[in-house]
A and B are shown apart, each in its own frame.
Chain A
Amino acid sequence: MTDASMDTPRPRRAKTSLVSEDARTKKRNAAEKRFQAYGILAIATGLFFLAVLAFSIVRSGLPAFTTTVVDVNFTLTQEEFDEAEGQLFKTKAYSGYFISALQKKLETENVQVAFDEAAIERIMGKIGSTLREYYTANPDQLGEEVAFKLNAASRVDGYFKGRVQRETLQDSRFLTLADLDLVDALAEAGIIHTAFDWGFITGADSGVDNPGGAGIGASVVGSFFMMLVVLLLSLPIGVAASIYLEEFAPQNRWTDMIEVNISNLAAVPSIVFGILGLAVFIQFMHLPQSAPLVGGLVLTLMTLPTIIISTRASLKAVPPSIRDAALGVGASKMQAVFHHVLPLAMPGILTGTIIGLAQALGETAPLLLIGMVGFVARGYPDGFISGFTDPNSAMPAQIYTWAARADQAFYEKAWGGIIILLIFLLTMNIIAIILRRRFERRW
């Protein structure tokens, strides 16, 4: 038996070498290469879409930051001022004076194109309120010549930006082809040109017939006050709740149920919180409608679960040895938590909070029902407290409102608003990353 076995040749093992690969190793290596290629492809696809998105946002949104203005020196007399103030529709009277002044000026400038007062009216935007604001604030300028930079009509602005084209333009009461000839002549004379639009960054919403006057500034302030409410309420409540649940609460059916409900709450569609907000905060507690305070309260409800979940996770990530050491040297449970566990969990808590806030910043749906979506053009609040209670919009709500308007100029504004919103979100995320890097500890 043993002989026989000795005689039969041993099955030949494939020769392996450390230097050259055999077939099986090749196959395994190829599989790994393929997997890596898939991964790179997946990342490339993601990056491609991100690039397309960023490109289209920037391309569509950048024009919103410039506007077409008309440079004119204009004098308003005391008599004209008194007459305008005596009327019901004062701003219209102001723009009337301005338009006839501009017409006179153009006649002396010897513009080579035929025009009439109606054409100038079509070219100019809604300028009455700008003029009235200026003269009521500076009555000493009455009778003096003042250099104004006033918005041109949105369609003229569109012509400069390529949104309105000669080929597709159809004569209407908003703009005619002949008006464009006049605009070209004025542009050549340097009277009309594009300029950076500070009004877009600082201004408030405007009526649908005045896209040139619309700005996102007031709604940035609204968003700011909302986020302040969210931060002041959800951070302490969320952290207190999670510390109790994680460190002190007994493990029983009640805490289990609370835990499950918190996870469920995190998945509730945000519009539900809006309905709740309308019923509880406005109709039951009689808080003011359209106020950032109510918006903040609603968003707090929405953000709480996110903060609680992330806080609990970061508390859990602190090694038990830290607690044991603190308790071992005689610290009370509370001292152990507040002196040792919480500081170590802070980066995680802050990151969770900022991400929760960023999420809340981009929400429109819960604001729909509490009156923050629509035409809210109250402007800046007078003081800190009224910032919470005065009607105001929020950035995403403002963008949503603009996107629904008939005039294409508002569509452009909506894209511009998205850029501003993204800048805010990016800043918040960068802060989250910095905080995490700075306070992170490894064990």
Chain B
Amino acid sequence: MKFAKLTASAMAIAAVSATAAAARDNIQVAGSSTVLPYASIVAEAFGANTDFPTPVVESGGSSAGLKRFCQGVGTEHTDVANASRKIREKEIKACAENGVTDIIEVRIGYDGIVFASQQDGPAYNAFTQADIFNALAPKVMVDGELVDNPYTKWSDFNADLPDAEILAFIPGTKHGTREVFEEKVIAVGCEMTGAHDAMIAAGMSEDDAEDACLEVRTDGRSVDIDGDYTETLASIDANAHGIGVFGLAFYENNTDKLKVATMAGVMPSTETIASGEYPVSRPLYFYVKKAHIGVIPGLKEYAQFFVADELAGPSGPLANYGLVSDPELAKTQQMVADEVVMGEGM
């Protein structure tokens, strides 16, 4: 009898929840772990400043977030995808196949990517993209020849760098940060050292050479970190000569543990990134499903609140946390207000 009662109550709960499932009243966000801190600041403020419930923000990486975003329209799917890179053509197509056609792209600002090492470690204080390429590429230029990377120490190829073993912790491939790292550092370094030209001279096509440029060595001197920056920080903590790739905001929160290196002679800071002097930065986005506006309460308000001057502006809490605010924020605000979808008037 007891079991019958328990089962009955369990079924009653399931029935009640099934009816409740139809109406979701909170915004569901997923995506980039780089955007997550900003999104959580906005979500908390959104909950505290409006009558809408606090949105739920999940992490998991830009690609994973966009994949879930593109799974379809309906309350069982996420409303917003955070991304630390632009959505790809392939993803837009995948979205369209599942009926997600009207996507509003919102750029919230810029984020710098910095190279930092342990506070007590060797002094890496000046890098160029070529240094990073020489340290991490599987094939590098030595005396005008493209050879398997022979370098084991930073001082092997640049006498100004310390005599320390090469060991770098770079973001894993599911992170949007990896793409920026490849594009703005490794690819540039590949061109600078002449490896790119050498590959083409050796008979590679332009595309193949570009792909080959982005490879990293697999002998353990370059370590992919698939988790968050805290994982990179822990690895740096354990390796005095290790160098890690971090977001600017993360570094600024941990200045007592990390020291940062300049890139091409420029110190990373919100100012140098905003002015474009610091070369390794990327825009941060979130994508809104237009079909969910009006269905999920507060979705448009959330998007507008996110890009409002009070939050994403230069003196707002996002900038205070480390986001480089977008000089064209007013344009974005207008776009969100008008619900301009991608491919329309852009």
Which of chain B's residues has its CB closest to A206's CB? Answer: B44
Name A71-94 residues within 8 Å CB distance of B: 87-92
Most buried by B among A169, A206, A283, A371: A371
| Chain A: minimal CB distance from B235 (Å) | 14
Q: Which residue in B7, B229, B317 is a CB contact (below 8 Å) of A406?
A: B229
Q: Are B58 and A373 in contact (CB under 8 A)?
A: yes
Q: Are B28 and A388 in contact (CB under 8 A)?
A: no
Whether a CB of chain A sits under 8 angstroms from the CB of B346 is no
Specify which chain B residues have a CB less than 8 angstroms from the CB of A168 in the assembled complex: 119, 256
Binds A, one of B10-18, B100-108, B175-183, B212-220: B10-18
Whether a CB of chain B sits under 8 angstroms from the CB of A119 is no
Q: Are A374 and B58 in contact (CB under 8 A)?
A: yes
Whether a CB of chain A sits under 8 angstroms from the CB of B37 is yes
| Number of chain A residues whose Cβ lies closer than 8 Å to a Cβ of chain B | 62
Q: With the chains together, A371 CA to B321 CA distance in Å?
A: 25
Q: Are A373 and B256 in contact (CB under 8 A)?
A: no
Most buried by B among A129, A368, A389: A389
Whether a CB of chain B sits under 8 angstroms from the CB of A262 is no
Q: Are A88 and B310 in contact (CB under 8 A)?
A: yes
Q: Which residue in A207, A233, A293 is a CB contact (below 8 Å) of B17?
A: A293
Whether a CB of chain A sits under 8 angstroms from the CB of B193 is no
Q: Are B26 and A236 in contact (CB under 8 A)?
A: no
Q: With the chains together, A16 CA to B252 CA distance in Å?
A: 80
Specify which chain A residues have a CB less than 8 angstroms from the CB of B228 in the assembled complex: 404
Whether a CB of chain A sits under 8 angstroms from the CB of B59 is yes
Binds A, one of B49-57, B125-133, B160-168, B202-210: B49-57
| Chain A: minimal CB distance from B169 (Å) | 15
Specify which chain B residues have a CB less than 8 angstroms from the CB of A408 in the assembled complex: 253-254
Specify which chain A residues have a CB less than 8 angstroms from the CB of B159 in the assembled complex: none
Whether a CB of chain A sits under 8 angstroms from the CB of B75 is yes
Specify which chain A residues have a CB less than 8 angstroms from the CB of B252 in the assembled complex: 172-174
Which of chain A's residues has its CB closest to B310's CB? Answer: A89
Q: Are B229 and A288 in contact (CB under 8 A)?
A: no
Whether a CB of chain A sits under 8 angstroms from the CB of B71 is yes
Q: With the chains together, A209 CA to B78 CA distance in Å?
A: 25
Binds B, one of A42-50, A97-105, A311-319, A375-383: A375-383
Specify which chain A residues have a CB less than 8 angstroms from the CB of B39 in the assembled complex: 375
Q: With the chains together, A373 CA to B59 CA distance in Å?
A: 8
Q: Are B9 and A232 in contact (CB under 8 A)?
A: yes
Whether a CB of chain B sits under 8 angstroms from the CB of A229 is yes
Specify which chain B residues have a CB less than 8 angstroms from the CB of A235 in the assembled complex: 6
Q: Are B21 and A90 in contact (CB under 8 A)?
A: no
Specify which chain B residues have a CB less than 8 angstroms from the CB of A404 in the assembled complex: 33, 59, 227-228, 230
Contact code string A154-175 (vs B, CB < 8 Å = 1, else 0): 0000000000110011101110
Q: Are B43 and A377 in contact (CB under 8 A)?
A: yes
Whether a CB of chain A sits under 8 angstroms from the CB of B249 is yes
Q: Are A289 and B28 in contact (CB under 8 A)?
A: yes
Specify which chain A residues have a CB less than 8 angstroms from the CB of B311 in the assembled complex: 89
Q: Which residue in A91, A287, A403 is a CB contact (below 8 Å) of B48?
A: A91
Which of chain A's residues has its CB closest to B234's CB? Answer: A403
Q: Are B7 and A389 in contact (CB under 8 A)?
A: no
Whether a CB of chain A sits under 8 angstroms from the CB of B320 is yes
Specify which chain A residues have a CB less than 8 angstroms from the CB of B227 in the assembled complex: 404
Name A175-209 residues within 8 Å CB distance of B: 206-209
Q: Are A389 and B56 in contact (CB under 8 A)?
A: no
User: Known: A403-B230, A406-B254. Is A90-B43 also a contact (CB below 8 A)?
Assistant: no
Whether a CB of chain B sits under 8 angstroms from the CB of A413 is no
Q: Which residue in A132, A240, A379 is a CB contact (below 8 Å) of B54?
A: A379
Q: With the chains together, A407 CA to B250 CA distance in Å?
A: 8
15 further interface pairs, Cβ-Cβ under 8 Å (given A371-B30, A378-B56)? A89-B45, A90-B48, A91-B48, A169-B256, A209-B320, A210-B41, A210-B44, A236-B7, A287-B18, A288-B24, A375-B56, A376-B57, A378-B53, A385-B13, A403-B230
Q: Which 10 A-B pairs have the closest CB atoms?
A: A374-B58, A207-B44, A89-B310, A129-B48, A406-B253, A375-B40, A375-B57, A207-B41, A208-B37, A404-B228
- A residues with a Cβ closer than 8 A to B are 87-92, 128-129, 132-133, 164-165, 168-170, 172-174, 206-210, 229, 232-233, 235-237, 239-240, 282-283, 285-291, 293, 368, 371, 373-379, 385-386, 388-391, 403-408
